[in-house]
Amino acid sequence: MKIADALKNVQRIFLDTAPVIYFFERHPVYFSRMEAFFHFRRNAGITIITSPVTLVECLVHPIRRGLSRQCKGYKHLILQGDNTEFWEIGAEAADRAARLRAALSITLADALQAGVALASRCDSFMTNDRQLSRIGDISVLLLDDLEQ
């Protein structure tokens, strides 16, 4: 599916951790898709939602390796990126996460990500985790299914 078609009628999109890492680290397969996504969403005025889970997951590797510059880059992208909202995990997100985890037997991190996406009223959830396509309350976009 073309990125423009996948994002039609999307105003708010949640970015799971993998797409952020693929973009930031210029993944050989997914970077061009993420670059096209960022370009399209900027022109379309789509708001990106991120969460503390994304921040934690993105920072672990650079912290272990002592890569403070990479940590700063991730923090900037996740916390202060253009038209990006960092959404805290509140009671509504936690409740939604618990219900998803109970129903789908997904990991706590995945449940929290989806809970934040739902609580923040996202239209879509971008990931590359096919298991998360079972979330029925939001449109899940898999990077593997997207083309420029």
Q: Could you tell me the two tokens for 89?
A: 């995990």
How much is the pTM?
0.94
Q: Would you call 24 helix, strand, or coil by DSSP?
A: helix
Answer yes or no: is 8 within a domain: no
Task: Say what the pLDDT of residue 73 is.
Answer: 97
**Amino acid, res. 141:** L
Task: Say what the pLDDT of residue 55 is.
Answer: 98
Q: Would you call 62 helix, strand, or coil by DSSP?
A: helix
Question: Which residues span the domain enclosing 97?
Answer: 15-130+139-145
Report how far Cα 40 is from the mean position of its chain's Cα atoms: 16
Answer yes or no: is 10 within a domain: no
**Amino acid, res. 107:** T
Task: Say what the pLDDT of residue 147 is.
Answer: 87
Task: Say what the pLDDT of residue 136 is.
Answer: 87
Block means of pLDDT (10 residues each) for the chain, 148 residues, are: 94 98 97 96 97 98 98 97 96 98 96 98 97 92 92
CATH number of 67's domain? 3.40.50.1010
In angstroms, the CA 78 to CA 90 distance is 18
